[in-house]
Amino acid sequence: MTKLNEITLAEARDLLNKGETSSVELTAEHVAAVESARPLNAFITETPEQAIAMAKDSDARRAKGEAGPLEGIPLAIKDLFCTQGVLTTAGSHILHGFKPPYESTVTANLWKAGAVMLGKANLDEFAMGSSNESSYHGPVENPWRRRGDNKPLVPGGSSGGSASAVAARAALAATGTDTGGSIRQPASFTGIVGMKPTYGRCSRWGIVAFASSLDQAGPMTRSVRDAAIMLGAMAGHDPKDSTSVDMPVPDYEKALTGDIRGLKVGIPKEYRVEGMPKEIEDLWQQGIDWLKDAGAEPVEISLPRTGYALPAYYIIAPAEASSNLARYDGVRYGLRAEGAPELQDMYERTRAEGFGVEVKRRVLIGTYVLSAGYYDAYYNKARKVRTLIAEDFKEAYKQVDVILAPTAPSAAFAIGELVDDPIAMYLNDVFTVPGSLAGVPGISVPAGLSGDGLPLGLQILGRAFDEETVLRVGDVLERAADFKHEPAFVAGR
Amino acid sequence: MASYRIVGNTGEWELVCGLEIHAQVISKSKLFSAAATEFGAEPNSQVSPVDAGMPGMLPVINKFCVEQAVKTGLGLRAEINRTSVFERKNYFYPDLPQGYQISQYLHPLVGEGTVYLDMPDGAVVPIGIERLHMEQDAGKSMHDQEPGKTYVDLNRSGVCLMEIVSKPDIRSPEQAGAYIRKLRSILRYLGTCDGNMEEGSLRCDINVSVRRTGEGFGTRCEVKNVNSVRFVMHAIEAEANRQVEILEDGGKIVQQTRLYDPKKGETRSMRTKEEAHDYRYFPDPDLLPLVVENDWVERIKANMPELPDEKKQRFMESYGLGPYDSGVLVADQETANFYEQVAKGRDPKLAANWLTGEFFGALNRTGVDLSGTPVDAAKLGELIDLISDGTISGRIAKEVFEEMWETGKSAVAIVEEKGLKQISDTGELEAIIDKIIAENPGQVAQVKEGNQKVMGWFVGQTMKATGGKANPKMVNELLRKKLTD
């Protein structure tokens, strides 16, 4: 029989429902898997005792007939979600020792649905990065290796720990957050499913903020069905988040009908960027063919402002970040540099010690673009560009129901390979950022392997709040791709 | 009223002044959190994770605070902007937990309006309102708790403020004082701010410049955080004089932020324009634009209380009072109510005279406020009734009033007890007057020769003989009849 940590979330749920396993058994298996996966550095904090205690409670609830939709399912939680009484670092030294007195809405929703927490997953510092190398707690390793090469690879970022943990079978699923591609790109790099819902679908309350107008929580799973189940539990209106939308949460699993006949799938011509590897172009074509075979109609579309998305994003996101990160001043919680003679020194030393290079870079960029005299040229212009990009999508969705594109312009790269080249690093987000700026939902589904044996994802983008269609098409794509490859490292083997 | 001028060595200068008032909104909870707002609570006992700037915390607008601000805007006869935007004002300070203050900048909730000042000469001076916007207050740094340490109290952090910005229409310290008092009066009528400057629920920043009459605006300086009406008036005068001195010495005014030192009676520099913060305002992405519905504004408008200006107008029209007296009576809502109770069914002018005269005098002298007065409206009304029906004279009434204030007894009881009832009996008065005439033939002769002063002497003698209780009108009549006929 397949080991309990190697099945999907949906399969685990069905076993639990049939009484063929218990949450304690399932969770114990995963606690062991988390331990065995330590070489990946996917977790900043493991919470095995809490996991077992939650599993026992879950079994007790089930015995009373009170099982929730995620009853007994062990999960990894990106360490950007505040978890009550459990160290929450955002991958930064500046939150040294911070244990929140509150629980984020999304994790609270998951616990209410019956889920169990395995621990807090590693991430780029404050979710700023595309390789999980900016974490104060060290880089995360991708469980995949290039064929015939044992060089450690990045899992992508910023949700690199979540991606690595799910790909290595150390967690049935994980939460991620996506600001410019932080769920979808690592999902693509590690051969798993990652979904960014519409902005406003999941509450941001209790998630350490990076760029408030873009941040959105979403699931990272080993199947589209699992993503549908997870999203159903995570989503919902939250009066504590003014940007969360008051709309009913549909039964996403029901959307997986397998029927996409007659759907129009947009193929944006602007996404055929120069220098895109042929294998990615080929995979994209393969994806178009799969959907066509399933009865959908590919339509070439134009998203004319695509080229401006990345520059606009790298103004808006740092601008908001520079303000969001001002609260880390050493006054109330987290790190405070000792021995500063004056207030100003205390601020400077605390922030110099507490923030890493990438965070400092973005805080400086953000402060600059908001400064008097530069505001209109940078921040204001970027906002206008953002509006135009959102219009591009609106126009496109008049013609098509979803958009199909590659998730990332490359497969996973080696740890250290791009660390000194921030521009090359930022280019990782070229296909994910436009959707983030427009606030539309997107899912990355593993679709094939690169020439050297690494997973590559394809991305489905949909209309705002139409996660159902995105999931439905993702599910069809998943079935067609029939991605059965496994990473070099699988926990517990 | 003569225009206010600063007289320098080279001639006269005109003052130009605008005020920015920070008014703390009366509400049970804060602008963006559910924490309480009570004044004087134990430090850091009214702080939610939002107010403390904890990671991942988000602001949620308090609808009641918006209602209070809309109400205030309507009270200032201002336009209510149906869409306004909260922005972040970024700067570092330990009592600013988020590292930014959520405020409104380019798109405030309330636009242009007018406040009318009631000057002592009865003149009404309109002062333009530039805008009113909502923002959150910061916490409080306490430097005096322990040497070498600063403590931070976040109770005030996140409390809702209205920043009310006037146009540079104020031309004298008196107008500035009248403006603050009028604004405070409106806020109190509306119940949107308690106006307590000592507790900091009303704080004032002053913009001052001077110019030769008829010239354009001069360079202004801002005097920050002045906390009483008197200090505001002093600070304006001190700052205007400072500027005149510099200009007359051939110097230039440097735009800067200054502080007023009430002990020295002068302003000193806090920071110059070059040292000013770059606040990097941008729309707060945690909050959607604030949209107020027409219907809602109309409902608020329909439930507005009668405000000082309307009440003043009504007092002038239905009680026949002058503009200044009306203005004084309506400045405070309780006083106005008190007056209306006293005036009901009585001579309204007599009631107004008694209230603004003896009654206010007693309040000021004893430091008692209206709610604690020993003479309530009914008692004062009774006293006025005794004057009106001739039971006592106005002069005796003053004595009775003093006694009422001391003892809390009613006017009727005091008059009865002390036998102060006016002698209005013609026979009784005639007997007394006849006796005085008989005893003073010389004075009688002088009156007959037309000496009116001596007539007054007879009135005095009569009053003296009756212990002041004689009805003065009757005494005058009887004496005239007996001495001149």
User: Which candidate from B99, B285, B288 shows the least CB-CB separation from A329?
Assistant: B99
Q: Residue B213 pLDDT > 90, yes or no? A: no
Total domains in the fold of chain A: 1
Mean pLDDT over B343-366 rounds to 94
When comparing pLDDT for A43 and B485, which is higher?
A43
Write out chain B residues lying below 8 Å of A243, CB-based: 285-288
Look up A182 and say whether it is catalytic: yes
Q: Residue A4 pLDDT > 90, yes or no? A: yes
Q: Residue B273 pLDDT > 80, yes or no? A: no
Across A368-382, B313-327, B443-457, least confident range = B443-457
User: Does the CB of A206 have a partner CB in chain B at under 8 Å?
Assistant: yes
Return the residue in B31, B66, B282 with the most chain A beta carbons within 10 A, the one to mutate for interface testing: B282
- What Cα–Cα distance (Å) separates residue A25 from each residue in A112, B21, B181? 20, 65, 73
Confirm whether A74 is domain-assigned. yes
Return the residue in A240, A322, A333, A364 with the most chain B beta carbons within 10 A, the one to mutate for interface testing: A240
Cis bond upstream, residue B228 (ω within 30): no
Look up A158 and say whether it is catalytic: yes
Mean pLDDT over B93-97 rounds to 95
Say whether A329 and B94 touch across the interface (CB within 8 A). Answer: yes
pLDDT of residue B421: 82
Amino acid sitting at position A83: T
pLDDT of residue A433: 98
Write out chain A residues lying below 8 Å of B288, CB-based: 242-243
pLDDT of residue B383: 95
Q: What is the pLDDT of residues A311-332, one digit of tens each?
A: 999 999 999 999 999 999 999 9
Chain B from 272 to 301: CB within 8 A of any A CB: 278, 280-282, 285-288
- Of how many residues is chain B composed? 485
Strand, coil or helix: A143? coil
Question: Rounded distance, CA A441 to CA A217, Å?
Answer: 11
- What Cα–Cα distance (Å) separates residue A329 from each residue in A94, B4, B97, B151? 9, 49, 9, 15
User: Does the CB of A319 have a partner CB in chain B at under 8 Å?
Assistant: yes
Confirm whether A311 is domain-assigned. no
Chain A from 352 to 391: CB within 8 A of any B CB: 367, 370-372, 375, 379
Q: What are phi and psi of B208, to 5 degrees?
A: -125, 135
Mean pLDDT over A288-293 rounds to 98
User: Does the CB of A84 have a partner CB in chain B at under 8 Å?
Assistant: no
- What Cα–Cα distance (Å) separates residue A270 from each residue in A227, A473, B220, B343? 28, 22, 54, 82
- What Cα–Cα distance (Å) separates residue A471 from each residue in A92, A228, A249, A252, A255? 33, 7, 14, 8, 7
DSSP B374-418: SS-HHHHHHHHHHHHTTSS-HHHHHHHHHHHHHH---HHHHHHHH
Q: How confident is the model at residue B485 (pLDDT cuts 50, 70, 90)?
A: low
Return the residue in A328, A329, A369 with the most chain B beta carbons within 10 A, the one to mutate for interface testing: A329
Say whether A327 and B55 touch across the interface (CB within 8 A). Answer: yes
Chain A from 401 to 460: CB within 8 A of any B CB: none
pLDDT of residue B319: 96
ipTM of predicted complex: 0.96
Write out chain A residues lying below 8 Å of B60, CB-based: 239-242
Q: What is the pLDDT of residues A429-479, one digit of tens each?
A: 999 999 999 999 999 999 999 999 999 999 999 999 999 999 999 999 999
B97: closest chain A residue by CA: A327
Mean pLDDT over B366-377 rounds to 90
Say whether A323 and B282 touch across the interface (CB within 8 A). Answer: yes
pLDDT of residue B2: 65
* d(CA B150, nearest CA chain A) in Å: 10
Question: Rounded distance, CA B117 to CA B112, Å?
Answer: 17
Mean pLDDT over A31-35 rounds to 98
* d(CA A296, nearest CA chain B) in Å: 37
User: Do A207 and A175 contact (CB within 8 A), yes or no?
Assistant: no
Say whether A327 and B152 touch across the interface (CB within 8 A). Answer: no
User: Does the CB of B54 have a partner CB in chain A at under 8 Å?
Assistant: yes
Q: What is the pLDDT of residues B409-454, one digit of tens each?
A: 999 999 888 878 878 788 888 889 999 998 988 888 888 888 888 8
User: Does the CB of A465 have a partner CB in chain B at under 8 Å?
Assistant: no
Query: Exactly one of A23, A131, A134, A182 is catalytic; which is it?
Result: A182
Write out chain A residues lying below 8 Å of B53, CB-based: 327, 332
* d(CA B153, nearest CA chain A) in Å: 11
Confirm whether A325 is domain-assigned. no
Q: Residue B1 pLDDT > 60, yes or no? A: no
When comparing pLDDT for B431 and A156, which is higher?
A156
Mean pLDDT over A372-380 rounds to 95
Chain B from 87 to 146: CB within 8 A of any A CB: 88, 90, 92, 94, 97-100
User: Does the CB of B32 have a partner CB in chain A at under 8 Å?
Assistant: no
Q: What is the mean pLDDT of chain B?
A: 93
Question: Rounded distance, CA B193 to CA B73, Å?
Answer: 13
CATH number at residue A117: 3.90.1300.10
Mode of pairing for the β-strands spanning A116-121 and A173-178:
unpaired
* d(CA A370, nearest CA chain B) in Å: 5
* d(CA A243, nearest CA chain B) in Å: 7
Question: Rounded distance, CA B164 to CA B159, Å?
Answer: 16
Say whether A242 and B285 touch across the interface (CB within 8 A). Answer: no
Mean pLDDT over A252-269 rounds to 98
Q: What percent of chain B has pLDDT over 90?
A: 74
pLDDT of residue B201: 93
* d(CA A83, nearest CA chain B) in Å: 11
A90: closest chain B residue by CA: B55
Mean pLDDT over B363-370 rounds to 90
Query: Exactly one of A78, A164, A196, A444 is catalytic; which is it?
Result: A78
Residues contacting A48, CB < 8 A, separation 6+: A31, A34, A35, A118, A119
Mean pLDDT over A409-422 rounds to 91
Confirm whether A365 is domain-assigned. no
Say whether A343 and B94 touch across the interface (CB within 8 A). Answer: yes
Q: What is the pLDDT of residues B378-408, one digit of tens each?
A: 999 999 999 998 888 888 899 999 999 999 9
pLDDT of residue B445: 86
Q: Residue B314 pLDDT > 70, yes or no? A: yes
Q: How confident is the model at residue A273 (pLDDT cuts 50, 70, 90)?
A: confident
Amino acid sitting at position A206: G
- Of how many residues is chain A composed? 493
B285: closest chain A residue by CA: A213
| Domain housing A224 | 4-263
- Give chain B's end-to-end CA distance (angstroms, integer): 49
pLDDT of residue A73: 98
The sign of the dihedral angle between the CA atoms of B424, B425, B426, B432 is: negative
Q: What are phi and psi of A181, to 5 degrees?
A: 145, 10
Across A146-160, A385-399, B28-42, B421-435, least confident range = B421-435
Confirm whether A35 is domain-assigned. yes
Write out chain A residues lying below 8 Å of B97, CB-based: 327, 331-332
Place of tokens 């970022």: A157
pLDDT of residue B426: 83
* d(CA A240, nearest CA chain B) in Å: 6
Write out chain B residues lying below 8 Å of A104, CB-based: 56
Place of tokens 């008036």: B233
Domains and CATH numbers, chain B: 5-300 (no CATH), 306-418 (no CATH), 426-484 (1.10.10.410)
Mean pLDDT over B34-62 rounds to 96
Q: What is the pLDDT of residues A185-220, one digit of tens each?
A: 999 999 999 999 999 999 999 999 999 999 999 999
Going along B45-139, which residue ranges are E strands? Answer: 83-84, 86-90, 100-104, 113-118, 124-136
User: Which candidate from B49, B53, B282 shows the least CB-CB separation from A102?
Assistant: B49
User: Which candidate from B90, B92, B286 shows the least CB-CB separation from A243?
Assistant: B286
* d(CA B56, nearest CA chain A) in Å: 4
Mean pLDDT over B201-227 rounds to 94
Write out chain A residues lying below 8 Å of B52, CB-based: 332
Q: What is the pLDDT of residues A298-310, one digit of tens each?
A: 999 999 999 999 9
User: Do B102 and B32 contact (CB within 8 A), yes or no?
Assistant: yes
User: Which candidate from A102, A329, A370 shows the least CB-CB separation from B280?
Assistant: A370
* d(CA B336, nearest CA chain A) in Å: 43
A206 Rama class: left (phi>0) / alpha (psi -120 to 50) / beta: left
Please give the structure tokens belonging to residue A25: 């058994």
Say whether B280 and A207 touch across the interface (CB within 8 A). Answer: no
Mark A442-451 as b/e (b = at least 16 C-beta within 10 Å). Answer: bbbbbbbbbe
Confirm whether A164 is domain-assigned. yes
pLDDT of residue A211: 98
Look up A112 and say whether it is catalytic: no
Question: Rounded distance, CA A182 to CA A217, Å?
Answer: 10
Angle between helices B472-484 and B441-448 (to 10 degrees): 80
- What Cα–Cα distance (Å) separates residue B21 from each residue in A418, B162, B193, B209? 54, 8, 12, 18
Q: How confident is the model at residue B109 (pLDDT cuts 50, 70, 90)?
A: very high
Say whether A208 and B56 touch across the interface (CB within 8 A). Answer: yes
User: Does the CB of B52 have a partner CB in chain A at under 8 Å?
Assistant: yes
